[in-house]
Structure 1
Amino acid sequence: MSTLIDLNCDIGEGFGRWQMPADTELMDLVSTVNVAAGFHAGDPATIRATIDRAASRGLDIGVHVALPDLVGFGRRRMDLSAQEAYDISLYQIGAVAGFAHAAGTRLTHVKPHGALYVMASADEQIAEAIARATAAYDNSLRLFLLDGRFADRISAEYGVQVEPEGFPDMAYAPDGQLILERAKQSRPPQQVAHRAVRMATEGLVEASDRSQIPVHARTLCLHSDAPNAVETARAVRDAFAAHDITVRALSNLN
């Protein structure tokens, strides 16, 4: 029987005249997109155009909520309260949802970006704040978090389904946390593809100390801002085909 996995990509991370050239090609290689909402990248025109293209392909569309840090691309930590995390998350969800509605579609999920994602993976109060904002807008939206952290309590308290996520193109610390890069580096496409296959079929990934750690992920993320993003995504899809792994959006997995 074929293994089923969702393949998602952070997308729409241009701003004004500066755009991410790989976006359109990547949309043809994934099943789900996470659209930048204006805080780390993205502007109204970019959000609209990205959602229009994603909707025309029938992709699952989520909002990529971030810290308000355009200069640092949302990859610098900020000292913010749980209430502030709630407020910035709800603001961004509403903005992207408006464009989705105008395009005749709807959001399927919420995913934190960059430093906010890492913070939510370690700090239950931040994760809970994002979940609370998600539920306040629409508790049928899924919430992507690293390896399903805090899933049981969040789901029980807010009715939001937490989806465990894996990152074949990022390094993991031995404790299972992500090692955040300030600027996305290229990784050999075949290495990323091998890691993606292992995550999908074995639930394992090699950490920075060479130890093997469990990864319980129903969706795997690829980053559009890697210099070789398209080549990497194609290598992952080719490896999936060779190992009988079928890419399918989470909305079609349940």
Structure 2
Amino acid sequence: MNTVDINCDLGESYGVYRMASDEAILPLITSANIACGFHAGDPATMRQTVLQALEHHVAIGAHPGLPDLQGFGRRRMDISPREAYDMVVYQMGALDAFVRSYGGRMHHVKPHGALYNMAAEDDQLAEGIAEAIYKVQPELYLYGLAGSAMKQAADRIGLRSIGEVFADRTYGPDGRLTPRSHPGAVIQKTEQALAQVLRMVKEGIVVSTEGSPVSIKAETICIHGDGAHALVFAQEIRSLLESEGVNLTAPGVAR
């Protein structure tokens, strides 16, 4: 039986700006990546999202990003591996304090947005992030783009890593995500996204924007909590995978 995790980026409200679907999405996913205050999120949102995730028995991960609230962490910044290390350690510590305050334990770390994409391509940046996780909590998983520099860095350090695929993003022939600035980077049609998910999970294949099949290992599927139809999309993905006999669980978590 195929086994896969469904993860979602949550806790990305900030101040008076609210992402309304977080609590409704939690019962549909198996792991949550919670914003740590750099690209989105604030202390009250972090606390509330952690508490809700624990109530729904969803595995909790830190979702560290670049210090860019205005750009939602999706604008690239010229940072060094040491700066990436410091940012990840700082944000992990903030979220972990909330998790521990409710008697929980953190499960994974997944970088956000531009930091994620930069580390998927840059060996040294990826190593800075993997080292940060390993030195703080070596038992955690690193969620990284399947086949990317992040997973390779984790392997070198001895950190457990999970290959992530995206339900609503297109891929180039090199297996990398199409940059959001390019046309067609985000899949708008639900049927197309569902078909892509099923093929990645069942066949280990994604069709690139050029029409070529690309091998991919789908260990966790990301759905975005900030999308206009995030809740419906989460419901449909879960329903599809369950109907296909796929076992849904977070890595290392017994169900």
* 1:177 aligned partner, one-letter code: R
Q: Report how far residue 202 of structure 1 moved.
A: 0.6
TM score, norm. by length of structure 2: 0.94
Give the secondary-structure state (helix, strand or coil) at the position aligned to 2:232. helix
Q: Report how far residue 206 of structure 1 moved.
A: 1.5
Partner of 1:155: 155
Q: Report how far residue 52 of structure 1 moved.
A: 0.2
> CA 1:197–1:47 in structure 2 vs 1: closer, same or farther (change >3 Å)?
same
C-alpha distance in 1, partners of 2:8/2:77? 24
Partner of 1:105: 104
Partner of 2:180: 181
C-alpha distance in 1, partners of 2:156/2:174? 26
Q: Report how far residue 50 of structure 1 moved.
A: 0.2
Q: How does 1:81-230 map to 2 (within 5 A)?
A: 81-150=80-149, 151-157=151-157, 159-181=158-180, 187-230=188-231
Report Cα offsets for 1:206-246 as digits up to 9, x if no partner.
Answer: 11112211111211110001111111111111211221112
Report Cα offsets for 1:6-45 as digits up to 9, x if no partner.
Answer: 1100111110121111111110110000000111100000
Q: Report how far residue 117 of structure 1 moved.
A: 0.6
Unaligned residue ranges in structure 2 (runs of 5+): none
Is the 1:141–1:161 Cα contact (8 Å) retained in structure 2?
yes
Q: Report how far residue 193 of structure 1 moved.
A: 1.5
C-alpha distance in 2, partners of 1:236/1:44? 30
* 1:155 aligned partner, one-letter code: D
Report Cα offsets for 1:170-214 as digits up to 9, x if no partner.
Answer: 1112111112326x9562222211111111111111111122111
Partner of 2:246: 245
Q: Report how far residue 118 of structure 1 moved.
A: 0.5
> CA 1:199–1:186 in structure 2 vs 1: closer, same or farther (change >3 Å)?
closer
**Matched pairs, number:** 252
* 1:64 aligned partner, one-letter code: H
Q: How does 1:42-61 map to 2 (within 5 A)?
A: 42-61=41-60
Is the 2:34–2:63 Cα contact (8 Å) retained in structure 1?
yes
* 2:223 aligned partner, one-letter code: L
C-alpha distance in 1, partners of 2:129/2:84? 6
Unaligned residue ranges in structure 1 (runs of 5+): none
TM score, norm. by length of structure 1: 0.94
* 2:140 aligned partner, one-letter code: L
After the TM superposition, which segments of 4 or more aligned residues of structure 1 sit over 4 Å from their partners? Answer: none
C-alpha distance in 2, partners of 1:145/1:62? 12
Is the deviation greater in 237-246 or in 83-92? 237-246
> CA 1:101–1:83 in structure 2 vs 1: closer, same or farther (change >3 Å)?
same
Give the secondary-structure state (helix, strand or coil) at the position aligned to 1:222. strand
Give the secondary-structure state (helix, strand or coil) at the position aligned to 1:220. strand
Is the 1:35–1:62 Cα contact (8 Å) retained in structure 2?
yes
> CA 1:121–1:253 in structure 2 vs 1: closer, same or farther (change >3 Å)?
farther
The question of 1:76 aligning with 2:114 is answered: no
